[in-house]
Amino acid sequence: MHYVYLIESLSTPGEKYVGLAGDLKRRLKDHNSGKSAHTAKFLPWRLETYIAFATVEKAQKFERYLKSGSGHAFARKRLW
């Protein structure tokens, strides 16, 4: 399975991140241990939502959508 996930910073309210992972538990640990340059300064993170996809292509398309303008609006209304 491939996961598109939404995480939110516990230390900086309103700081959010959308990502893609094959191993969701490991990826969340990576975020919380500072291994990701994009999220290291806003530790710790909590998992808000994740969606599983059977193929990496579908997961990548959905992640790109969530990072677009209309995808931001969809996520704010339905996923956060």
When divided into structural domains, the chain yields a total of 1
At 38-80, the pLDDT tens digits run 999 999 999 999 999 999 999 999 999 999 999 999 999 999 9
Residue 17 phi, psi dihedral angles, 5° rounding: -145, 140
At 9-35, the pLDDT tens digits run 999 999 999 999 999 999 999 999 999
Q: Which pLDDT score is estimated for 73? A: 97
Which has the closest alpha carbon to 80: 21, 2, 6?
6
Q: Which pLDDT score is estimated for 49? A: 98
Tokens of 9: 């910073």
Q: Are 43 and 9 in contact (CB under 8 A)?
A: yes
Write out the residue range of the structural domain in which residue 35 sits: 2-78
**What 3-state DSSP class applies to 41?**
helix
Does the global pTM surpass 0.85? yes
Give the CATH number for residue 29.
3.40.1440.10
